[in-house]
Amino acid sequence: MLSPHQLLAASHQGFFMPKQASSIAPHVDWLMWFINAVSIFFTVLIFGLVIYFAIRYRASRNPVPAPAGHNNMLEAVWTIIPSIIVLVIFFFGFRGYMEMSVQPVAAHQVRVIGFKWGWTFEYRHPVDGTPIKLDRLILPEGEPVQFIMESTDVIHSLFIPSMRMKKDVVPGRFNKFWVQPTRANEVNPYLLPTDEEKAAAWAAAYDVYCTEYCGTKHSKMLTKALVLPPDQYRAALIIEGNIFEKDGQPLPLEIVGETLYTRRGCNQCHSIDGKSGIGPTWKDLFGAQRQFTDGTSAVADENYIKESILYPGRKIVAPYGNVMASYLGQLNDREIGALIEYMKSVSAKHQTLGGPQSNAD
Ligand code: HEC
Ligand SMILES: [Cu+2]
């Protein structure tokens, strides 16, 4: 068992806010503390004076009130000093805002896609430039990263508290933000052998949230940002770039499908244990008869599933709503094939003869 002190040291928690982990964080914190200090100072001053005056000039001691006059000096002082303070706050706020808004010329690029209810972070493969889609962030230490953010449904907001970075993710437009991480995580999960150790290392990475209330599972839009030294960052992307293989060996398609099921957020709405969620369960889906809201029906085969993924609005399974966003252009045929194999693997009506399907082609 860790002591509370060790837990605090292992977490990213600072005194009030998580420890600073980006180049902008000291500016944000400085201004926040300055505003806090000014607020506390004036709160104490004003309440102190109110109490003091209430006692000092109480009616019993001063039965005949003196006429309240006008004091030009006093008026000038309490106009000019607050104006100067407000201008100082404006100056530092504006400077920080400009620094956050002006995009660095050379930066790593990450496309951020917010959806109900998860995140997809799209990278480019460091060697061949092909897209890599992850549900967690990997960031290089000491190098600027630009986020190009969009939403497939409603407004979300990407927040990395340790980096003091937060920006809305809005449907129908791109929002940009950039960040330069300053503190690499101590443990790199990609260098660890077992899944448990990897999971623990990811758990110790920086927290990422959605901070714009976006519906039922808004609070489940949690993920992690892992900061690695640049060479390890590159190596991690190369490993992640190939979900179809592990250690150079092709993986069975249903295993790839299972990875996509969690990594691409299908699990937020579809269970595999028979419980219905926002969407129908995938248990025994393959080969089953589907009833649609328009009264028609069909058998769930490969074509139907592919159509449901690319054009979810065409056939709405009763009694569900049309809430699934299209994955057109987001999942390629090979990935959809893997998802279908995964659905088959959790469906009793489907038995593949001759063992699991390999994707070695
Ligand atoms: C926001 C919730 C949500 C997410 C995320 C989601 N779906 Fe759906 N999905 C639904 C709902 C609701 C339905 C039923 C209504 C319809 O047919 O559009 C559905 C229907 C389906 C169907 C037809 C199922 C059936 O029972 O006939 C398939 C196949 C499917 N989704 C695949 C996927 C895949 C693959 C992913 C991830 C890449 C995914 N969905 C992500 C909500 C979601
Ligand atoms: Cu959200």
The closest ligand to the CA of 151 turns out to be: 2
Q: Confidence class of residue 257 from pLDDT cuts 50, 70 and 90? A: very high
Rounded to an integer, the average pLDDT of 235-253 is 86
| Selection from 288, 336, 291, 287 nearest residue 311 by Cα | 336
Q: Check pocket membership of 322 for ligand 1, CB cut-off 6 A.
A: yes
Confidence of residue 100 (pLDDT cuts 50, 70, 90): confident
Q: How confident is the model at residue 101 (pLDDT cuts 50, 70, 90)?
A: confident
pLDDT classification of 157: cutoffs 50, 70, 90: very high
Atom of ligand 1 lying closest to residue 300 CA = 27
Atom of ligand 1 nearest to the CA of 305: 29
Domain coordinates of the chain in residue numbers?
8-57+70-101, 108-241, 249-345
Ligand 2: distance of its center to the CA of 136 in Å?
15
- Residue 7's pLDDT band (boundaries 50, 70, 90)? low
The closest ligand to the CA of 344 turns out to be 1
Give residue 275's pLDDT band: very low, low, confident or very high (50, 70, 90): very high
Whether residue 352 has pLDDT greater than 70:
no
Closest ligand (CA of 169): 2
Looking at 3.40.50.300, 1.10.287.110, 1.10.3720.10, 1.10.760.10, the CATH number of the domain 249-345 comes to 1.10.760.10
If we measure between CA atoms, which residue out of 109, 118, 180 comes closest to residue 144? 180
DSSP 161: G
- Ligand 1 pocket: which of 269, 276, 335 to mutate (most atoms within 8 A of CB): 269
Q: How far apart are CA 28 and CA 144, in angstroms?
A: 17
Place of tokens 């056939």: 315
Cβ pair 108, 146 in contact under 8 A: yes
189 vs 64, higher pLDDT: 189
| 62: confidence class by pLDDT, cuts 50, 70, 90 | confident
Is 317 touching ligand 1 by the criterion CB < 6 Å? Answer: yes
Q: Is the pLDDT of residue 3 over 90?
A: no
Whether the pLDDT of residue 1 is over 70: the answer is no
- Mean pLDDT of the 128-134 span: 82
Interval between CA 269 and ligand 2 midpoint (Å): 14
pLDDT at 184: 92
Nearest CA to ligand 1 atom 6: 266
Element (H, E) at 151: strand 145-151
Mean pLDDT of 303-328: 92
Residue 361 scores a pLDDT above 80? no
Mean pLDDT score, 169-194:
92
Report the C-alpha gap between 158 and 208 in whole angstroms.
7
- 27 CB near ligand 1 (under 6 Å): no
> What is the pLDDT, as a whole number, of residue 289?
92
Burial 150-186 (b: 16+ CB within 10 A, else e): bbbebebbbbbbbbbbbbbbbeeeebebbbbbbbbbe
Query: How far is CA 27 from each of CA 32, 175, 310, rounded to the nearest angstrom?
Result: 9, 22, 44
Q: What is the pLDDT of residue 247?
A: 73
Question: Minimal CA–CA distance to 168: which of 209, 107, 205?
Answer: 209
Residue 28 CA from chain centroid, whole number: 20
Average pLDDT over residues 40-63: 92
Among 151, 218, 258, 270, say which to mutate for ligand 1: greatest number of ligand atoms within 8 Å of CB.
270
Q: Is the CB of 342 under 6 A from ligand 1?
A: no
Q: Mean pLDDT, the chain, as a whole number? A: 89
Over residues 285-312, mean pLDDT: 93
Q: How far is the CA of 215 from the centre of ligand 2 (A)?
A: 7
Q: What is the 8-class DSSP label of residue 187?
A: -
Contact by Cβ (8 Å): 285, 301: no
Q: Does the CB atom of residue 272 touch ligand 1 within 6 A?
A: no
Of 272, 324, 327, 335, best ligand 1 pocket probe by most atoms within 8 Å of the beta carbon: 324
Mean pLDDT of 303-310: 95
Instruction: Among 1.10.287.90, 3.40.50.2000, 1.25.40.80, 3.30.300.30, name the CATH number for the domain at 8-57+70-101.
Output: 1.10.287.90
* Same-fold call for 8-57+70-101 versus 108-241: no
Look at 25 and 9; give whichever has higher pLDDT: 25
Q: Which DSSP category does 247 fall into?
A: T
Could you tell me the pLDDT band of residue 195, with boundaries at 50, 70 and 90?
A: confident
- Residue 263 reports pLDDT greater than 70: yes
Instruction: Give the closest residue to 237 by CA, choosing from 221, 226, 253, 248.
Output: 226
Class of domain 108-241: mainly beta
Ligand with the closest atom to the CA of 265: 1
Q: Whose CA is nearest to atom 7 of ligand 1?
A: 324
Q: How far is it, in rounded angstroms, from Cα 304 to Cα 180? A: 44
| pLDDT given for residue 178 in this prediction | 93
pLDDT above 70: residue 198:
yes
Tokens of 146: 């630009």
* Ligand with minimal distance to 335 CA: 1
- Would you say 347 and 273 are in contact if contact means Cβ atoms under 8 Å apart? no
pLDDT band at 265 (very low <50, low <70, confident <90, very high): confident
Q: Which pLDDT score, from 0 to 100, does residue 249 have? A: 83
Residue 129 — very low, low, confident or very high, per pLDDT cuts 50/70/90? Answer: confident
Q: What is the pLDDT of residue 93?
A: 93
Predicted confidence (pLDDT) at residue 250 exceeds the cutoff of 80: yes
CA distances to 110, 179, 223 from 285, in Å: 35, 43, 29
Task: Give the least confident one: 25-39, 84-98, 242-256, 301-315.
Answer: 242-256
Centroid of ligand 2 to alpha carbon of 219 (angstroms): 8
pLDDT band for position 284 (50/70/90)?
very high
Label the pairing between strands 223-228 and 206-210: antiparallel
* Nearest CA, atom 39, ligand 1: 266
Condensed to tens digits (0 to 9), the pLDDT of residues 10-41 reads 556 667 788 899 999 999 999 999 999 999 99
Which amino acid appears at position 319 of this protein?
Answer: P
